[in-house]
């Protein structure tokens, strides 16, 4: 997804890069809270986990400065990079960027007006020490060599179902297995965190199944994917309710 080449001398991109360089320099200086002055007086910094380990919206310079003081010494952000050409519409420059903290990699979105940040989004995308096991890191699956006690994938799964929550306790309990709970459970599994999801309803997806018969999602299919488990490319534009959560 990351573009490595930006159009040379593209004014909105140069402006976004200049702002980002000022942010990076100020945050790593002896007075990081001064970075709040790079925001409009009533500007916003919305952080999804990357700095606050929470979902926070900081409104205004004072709140932003307080957050910087509280988080930057441990977050130690670096490698701020505009990763796509910025755009400019009606005087608002918008740009995607990437960054790192001590623990994680992140991606964000910047909106600039007259050289100051109007909105600034930072999201954590991955823990550096615990990358998701996808693509080249995916589990091997096949085990070569002679082993007459080798378990199949199904046997391992049945063993886990029989023991997790009984003889082996989970590290994490998710209450509510709607799309949020199921998505979180899928992510935790990739991180090998033993997890159980419980729901008041009998089956995953019942919260949707129980709704009116003709219900379908309102957003187009490409906005509705579950993490890891995407809708097929041939899926309907508006997924019907029975496909929406593990149909
Ligand atoms: C008609 C409609 C159309 C929508 N269309 C879209 C769309 O097109 N695109 C989109 O992105 N979003 C859409 N949404 C919004 C989206 O469905 C919700 O934001 C999403 O379902 C919220 O997911 P959730 O997992 O947080 O909560 P829920 O899906 O509400 O799941 C919560 C789960 O927790 C369980 N639960 C609650 N309390 C307890 C308890 N005390 N103990 C045990 N279990 C409990 C419930 O049974 C349920 O299964 C739509 C919503 C509706 C109603």
Quick: pLDDT tens for 88-138. 999 999 999 999 999 999 999 999 999 999 999 999 999 999 988 889 998
State the Cα torsion 216-219-221-222 to the nearest 10°.
-160
d(CA 106, ligand 1 centre) in Å: 27
pTM for the whole structure: 0.80
Q: What is the pLDDT of residue 239?
A: 87
What is the distance in A from the centroid of ligand 1 to the CA of 169? Answer: 27
Per-residue exposure over 87-124, b if at least 16 CB sit within 10 Å of its own CB, e if not: ebeeeebbbbbbbbbebbbbbbebbbeeeebbbbbbbb
Query: Strand runs (DSSP E) across the chain, as ranges?
Result: 39-48, 55-59, 78-82, 87-89, 92-100, 104-113, 116-127, 172-175, 195-198
Domains detected in the chain: 11-127 (3.10.450.50), 168-247 (no CATH)
Q: Of 190 and 35, which is predicted with more confidence? A: 35
Query: Which protein residue has the closest C-alpha to ligand 1 atom 27?
Result: 178
pLDDT tens-digit readout, 143-168: 888 999 999 999 999 999 999 999 99
Interatomic CA distance for residues 49 and 110, integer angstroms: 17
Cα(180) to centroid(ligand 1), Å: 7
Residue 247 scores a pLDDT above 70: no
pLDDT at 226: 87
On average, the pLDDT of the chain sits at 92
| Nearest protein CA to atom 41 of ligand 1, as residue | 200
Phi, psi of 66 (to 5 degrees): -60, -40
168 in contact with ligand 1, CB cutoff 6 A: no
CA-nearest of 183, 239, 231, 241 to 210 is 241
Distance CA 34, CA 62 (A): 10
Burial status of residue 55 (CB atoms within 10 A of its CB: 0-12, 13-18, 19 or more) = exposed
- Most ligand 1 atoms within 8 A of CB, residue of 55, 175, 199 to mutate: 199
Instruction: Measure 42 CA to ligand 1 centroid, in angstroms.
Output: 33
Would you place residue 64 in the very low, low, confident or very high pLDDT band (cuts 50, 70, 90)?
very high
Residue 141's pLDDT band (cuts 50, 70, 90): confident
Please report the pLDDT score of residue 242 as a whole number.
Answer: 66
**Banded pLDDT at 4 (limits 50, 70, 90):** low
Contacts of 4 (CB under 8 A, 6+ apart): 83
Ligand 1 pocket, residue 196 CB under 6 Å: no
Which of residues 208 and 112 earns the better pLDDT score? 112
Question: Is ligand 1 within 6 A of the CB of residue 227?
Answer: no
| Residue 200 Cβ contacting ligand 1 at under 6 Å | yes
Give every CB contact of residue 7 below 8 A, 6+ residues apart in sequence: 13, 85
For residue 177 and ligand 1, the question of a CB distance below 6 A is answered with: yes
pLDDT of residue 63: 98
Model confidence at 246, pLDDT cuts 50, 70, 90, reads very low
Of the pLDDT bands very low, low, confident and very high (cuts 50, 70, 90), residue 244 is low
Residue 213 has what pLDDT?
86
156, 177 in Cβ contact below 8 A?
no
DSSP 232: P
């Amino acid at each position: 997804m990351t573009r490595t080449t930006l159009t040379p001398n593209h004014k909105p991109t140069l402006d976004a890069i200049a702002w980002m360089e000022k942010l990076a320099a100020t945050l790593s200086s002896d007075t990081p809270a001064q970075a709040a002055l790079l925001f409009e007086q009533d500007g916003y910094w919305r952080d999804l986990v990357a700095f606050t380990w929470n979902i926070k919206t900081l409104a205004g310079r004072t709140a932003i400065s307080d957050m910087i003081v509280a988080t930057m010494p441990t977050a130690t952000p670096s490698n701020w990079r505009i990763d796509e050409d910025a755009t400019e519409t009606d005087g608002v420059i918008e740009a995607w960027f990437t960054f790192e903290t001590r623990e994680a990699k992140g991606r964000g979105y910047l909106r600039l007006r007259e050289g100051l940040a109007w909105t600034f989004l930072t999201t954590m995308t991955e823990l550096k020490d615990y990358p998701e096991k996808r693509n080249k890191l995916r589990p091997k699956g096949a085990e070569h060599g002679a082993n007459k006690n080798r378990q199949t994938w199904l046997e391992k799964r049945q063993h886990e179902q029989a023991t997790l929550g009984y003889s082996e306790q989970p590290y994490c309990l998710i209450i509510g297995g709607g799309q949020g709970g199921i998505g979180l459970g899928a992510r935790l599994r990739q991180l090998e965190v033993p997890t159980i999801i419980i729901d008041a309803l009998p089956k995953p997806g019942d919260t949707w199944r129980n709704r009116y018969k003709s219900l379908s999602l309102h957003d187009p299919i490409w906005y509705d994917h579950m993490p890891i488990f995407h809708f097929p490319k041939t899926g309907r534009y508006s997924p019907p309710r029975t496909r929406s959560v593990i149909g």
